[in-house]
């Protein structure tokens, strides 16, 4: 069966209709403005989502110095996690049973003084993090990484540790 209309377009159209009815009733003094305002805001959020606006920022910088992740709501203060390559002490992968609808694999990059950075796998793949880790950390356990990629339970996989080299 062929779809003739996109669900998001249908929701947007319904939102416009409800907003229009609310405005009309409010102008005639049959209703208060609240239904019109509510449906107008709902319609605006649908439109923004269709245009690709995401209310949450999740950005990773991979540089010669190290890693820096900035994340949080776009309209509020952001959180920043960062670590220098020379401070990395351990690299782990955490898997969860939340997938496949949600990100279920995370890279834990541990550093000195209990500092570190957590990177979701989707963000890691967008920035080529695995290749960068393989280049910078000889002895990175690719077998453990492959095992973690296929895991769908809650587990941790050690990929590299500074202690194991010493």
Residue 121 CB coordination number (10 Å): 20
Residue 164: per-residue pLDDT? 67
Give residue-wise pLDDT tens across range 5-48. Answer: 677 778 888 888 989 998 998 899 888 889 889 988 988 888 88
Asked if 69 and 82 touch (Cβ cutoff 8 Å), the reply is yes
Looking at residue 151, its pLDDT comes to 86
Mean pLDDT of all residues in 116-133: 93
Six token digits for residue 59? 């950005």
Spatial distance between the Cα atoms of 109 and 17, rounded to a whole number of angstroms: 50
Measured CA to CA, the distance from residue 61 to residue 43 in angstroms comes to: 34
In the DSSP assignment, the letter for residue 122 is H
Total residue length of the chain = 166
**CA dist 142 to 1, 45, 91, 96, 121, Å?**
44, 42, 12, 19, 15
Report the distance separating Cα 126 and Cα 92, nearest Å: 19
What pLDDT does residue 106 have?
A: 94
Question: What mean pLDDT is reported for the chain?
Answer: 87
**Residue 3 confidence (pLDDT) above 80:** no
Whole-Å CA distances, 125 to 84, 105, 121: 20, 11, 6
Strands (E), the chain: 56-62, 66-73, 79-84, 88-95, 105-111, 116-120, 155-161
Average pLDDT value for residue range 111-140? 92
Residue pLDDT, tens place only, 57-86: 889 999 999 999 999 887 788 899 999 999
């Amino acid at each position: 069966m062929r779809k003739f209309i996109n669900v998001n377009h249908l929701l947007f159209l319904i939102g416009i209709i409800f907003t229009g009815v609310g405005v009309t009733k409010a102008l005639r003094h049959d209703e208060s403005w609240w239904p019109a305002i509510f449906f107008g805001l709902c319609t605006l959020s649908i439109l923004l989502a269709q245009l690709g606006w995401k209310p949450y920022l999740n950005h990773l910088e991979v540089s010669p110095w190290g890693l820096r992740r900035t994340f949080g709501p776009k309209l509020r203060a952001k959180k920043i996690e960062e670590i220098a390559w020379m401070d990395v002490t351990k690299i782990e992968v955490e898997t969860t049973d939340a997938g496949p609808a949600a990100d279920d694999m995370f890279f834990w990059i541990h550093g000195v003084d209990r500092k570190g950075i957590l990177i979701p796998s989707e963000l890691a793949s967008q920035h080529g993090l695995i290749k960068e880790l393989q280049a910078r950390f000889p002895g990175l356990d690719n077998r453990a990484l492959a095992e973690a990629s296929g895991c769908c339970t809650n587990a941790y996989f050690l990929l590299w540790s500074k202690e194991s080299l010493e």
